[in-house]
């Protein structure tokens, strides 16, 4: 705001505000006081991995994606809310008393910008609601089948009203500060807002964001598409109450830039993340060194929640840490069909999955190209 005013503008020049935020990050607060009942739990958090495994075993689990577009994983906020109710006494108490309000980051911001408990405006938009696993993609309303699956009683918890992404009245007004009285007229999840920002309004257009993670959204038009290949069905945007929603298919990768931050902050490979490209270019290939950035499991298209971050090296000569920064180009030693196993016989990146295995003598079969560490028989 200071830089805006310093440029010669006035606060009265601002006619409206739009909000974009993380989508799946979940919060629960006291509806009466406005006080949060726990820290926000972000979309990259994997504390729900055991709960996800239990939910996948429940009857009806395989049908959820056909209703909401999302597979069961640690990613959506429905699982996070269920974990909060099962593990946090303050949240459970407020839920039992009917005092709990649930929302994603957009709902929390709009609630507070509108004065919090003074005005109690609890809303969200279709793009954020489509990431909860509570909303039906077809009707754009909360689906009783989804709520029942997660054992959520909507009479005990206040869920945000679902609005279009653009609404001149539904999101309210800012009630104090330098923008007092300014209307909030739009709200989208961060990746949906990028789709709009790139003007991908026509079916067949797409955008790809490279940030903390990587997110490719592909406009599929006015009817939702349920992927059979590990992509997510989601709402791209709905620009008004009188307009139809536009849907998207999404490929979500949990770790991208945050993997570079890990190498810098945790392993000390470099001091300036902007140097990563120069360092990677200093070697001809990855030298057999594989970095699987599964710090939040693996997202699309695998959806393997118990996958773990792994650095491994096949038995190639002269590998340094710089090779870790270089993308794999299918490098293999001439006349070598197998590479020596880099682990302690029996380690696996996917402990609960049946993937090709090492066939003895501490050797691996040929890599499948995504850096899987195959198990020993």
pLDDT, tens digit, 9 for 90 and up, residues 312-325: 876 655 555 555 55
Judgement on whether residues 375 and 235 belong to the same structural domain of the protein: no
Judgement on whether residues 34 and 153 belong to the same structural domain of the protein: yes
Residue 374: the pLDDT is 34
Give the rounded percent of residues in the chain with a pLDDT score beyond 90. 59
Residue 262, in any domain of the structure: no
CA–chain centroid gap for 144, Å, is: 24
Judgement on whether residues 208 and 91 belong to the same structural domain of the protein: no
Judgement on whether residues 164 and 220 belong to the same structural domain of the protein: no
Judgement on whether residues 245 and 286 belong to the same structural domain of the protein: no
- Cα–Cα distance for residue pair 263/317, rounded to 1 Å: 22
Judgement on whether residues 178 and 103 belong to the same structural domain of the protein: yes
Instruction: Supply 148's token pair.
Output: 């029942």
In the chain, the number of structural domains is 3
CATH number of the domain that 68 lies in? 3.30.420.40
Residue 223: the pLDDT is 95
pLDDT band of residue 346 (cuts 50, 70, 90) is very low
Residue 263, in any domain of the structure: no
For 251-285, the pLDDT digits (tens) are 999 888 888 888 888 888 888 878 888 888 888 88
Judgement on whether residues 10 and 153 belong to the same structural domain of the protein: yes
Among 218, 178, 223, which residue's Cα sits nearest to residue 198?
A: 218
Give the rounded percent of residues in the chain with a pLDDT score beyond 70. 83
Among 317, 315, 286, 302, which residue's Cα sits nearest to residue 349?
A: 302
For 322-338, the pLDDT digits (tens) are 555 555 544 443 333 33
- Cα–Cα distance for residue pair 276/259, rounded to 1 Å: 11
Which residues are CB-neighbours of 102 under 8 A, at least 6 positions away? 26, 27, 28, 81, 157, 158, 159, 160
338 against 91, higher pLDDT? 91
Long-range pairs, 43-48, Cβ under 8 A, ≥24: 43/75, 43/77, 44/212, 44/213, 44/254, 44/255, 44/258, 44/295, 44/296, 45/74, 45/80, 45/296, 46/74, 46/296, 46/297, 46/305, 47/74, 47/83, 48/74, 48/79, 48/80, 48/82, 48/83
Residue 286 vs residues 46, 274, 279, 292: alpha-carbon distances, Å? 29, 19, 12, 13
Judgement on whether residues 13 and 110 belong to the same structural domain of the protein: yes
Residue 357, in any domain of the structure: yes
User: Sign (positive/negative) of CA torsion 314, 317, 323, 326?
Assistant: negative
Residue 5: the pLDDT is 81
Report the SS3 class of residue 84: helix
Report the SS3 class of residue 159: coil
Angle at 191 between CA 187 and CA 197, to 5 degrees: 75
Query: Which letter does DSSP use for residue 275 in this model?
Result: G
Owning domain of residue 286? 273-377
Q: What is the pTM of this model?
A: 0.79
Judgement on whether residues 38 and 145 belong to the same structural domain of the protein: yes
Residue 289: the pLDDT is 83
Judgement on whether residues 143 and 58 belong to the same structural domain of the protein: yes
Residue 310, in any domain of the structure: yes
Residue 97, in any domain of the structure: yes
pLDDT band of residue 297 (cuts 50, 70, 90) is confident
Instruction: Supply 273's token pair.
Output: 């993340």
Judgement on whether residues 20 and 156 belong to the same structural domain of the protein: yes
H or E stretch covering 376: strand 375-376
For 363-376, the pLDDT digits (tens) are 433 333 333 333 33
Average pLDDT, the chain: 84
Tell me: pLDDT of 164 over 90. Answer: yes
Residue 296: the pLDDT is 86
Residue 258, in any domain of the structure: no
- Cα–Cα distance for residue pair 213/325, rounded to 1 Å: 16
For 43-53, the pLDDT digits (tens) are 989 899 999 99
Tell me: pLDDT of 347 over 70. Answer: no
Phi-psi region for residue 75, left (φ > 0), alpha (ψ -120 to 50) or beta? Answer: alpha
Residue 261, in any domain of the structure: no
280 against 344, higher pLDDT? 280
Tell me: pLDDT of 4 over 90. Answer: no
Mean pLDDT throughout 151-168?
96
Residues 316 and 354: beta-carbon distance below 8 Å: no
Judgement on whether residues 67 and 196 belong to the same structural domain of the protein: no
Domain boundary among 206, 224, 253: 253
Mean pLDDT throughout 75-90?
96
Residue 174: the pLDDT is 94
Residue 355: the pLDDT is 38
H or E stretch covering 276: helix 276-280
- Cα–Cα distance for residue pair 124/96, rounded to 1 Å: 23
């Amino acid at each position: 705001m200071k830089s805006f005013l310093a440029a010669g503008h006035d606060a009265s020049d601002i006619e409206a505000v739009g909000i974009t935020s993380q989508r799946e990050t979940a919060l629960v607060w006291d509806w009466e006081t406005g006080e949060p009942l726990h820290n926000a739990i972000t979309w990259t958090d994997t504390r729900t991995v055991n709960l996800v495994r239990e939910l996948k075993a429940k009857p009806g689990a395989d049908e959820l994606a056909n209703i909401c577009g999302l597979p069961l994983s640690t990613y959506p906020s429905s699982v996070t809310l269920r974990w909060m109710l099962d593990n946090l006494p303050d949240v459970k108490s407020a839920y039992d008393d009917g005092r709990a309000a649930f929302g994603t980051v957009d709902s929390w911001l709009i609630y507070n910008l509108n004065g919090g408990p003074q005005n109690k405006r609890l809303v969200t938009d279709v793009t954020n609601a489509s990431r909860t696993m509570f909303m039906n993609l077809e009707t754009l309303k909360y689906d009783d089948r989804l709520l029942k699956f997660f054992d959520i009683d909507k009479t005990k918890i206040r869920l945000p009203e679902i609005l279009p992404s653009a609404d001149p009245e539904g999101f309210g007004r800012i009630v104090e500060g330098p923008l007092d009285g300014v209307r909030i007229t739009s709200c989208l999840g961060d990746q949906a807002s990028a789709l709009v920002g790139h003007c991908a309004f026509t079916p067949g257009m797409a955008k790809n964001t490279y940030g903390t993670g990587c997110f490719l959204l592909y406009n599929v038009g006015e009817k939702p598409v349920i992927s059979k290949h590990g992509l997510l069905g989601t709402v791209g945007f709905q620009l008004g109450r009188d307009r139809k929603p536009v849907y998207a298919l999404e490929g979500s990768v949990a770790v991208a830039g945050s993997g570079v931050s890990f190498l810098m902050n945790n392993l000390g490979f470099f001091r300036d993340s902007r140097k990563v490209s120069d360092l990677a270019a200093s070697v001809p290939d990855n030298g057999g060194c594989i970095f699987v950035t599964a710090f939040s499991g693996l997202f699309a298209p695998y959806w393997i929640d118990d996958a773990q971050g792994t650095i491994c090296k096949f038995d190639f000569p002269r590998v340094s840490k710089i090779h870790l920064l270089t993308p794999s180009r299918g490098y293999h030693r001439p006349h070598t069909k197998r590479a020596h196993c880099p682990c302690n016989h029996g380690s696996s990146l996917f402990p609960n999955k049946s993937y090709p295995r090492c066939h003895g003598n501490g050797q691996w079969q040929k890599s499948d190209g995504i850096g899987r560490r195959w198990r020993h028989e």
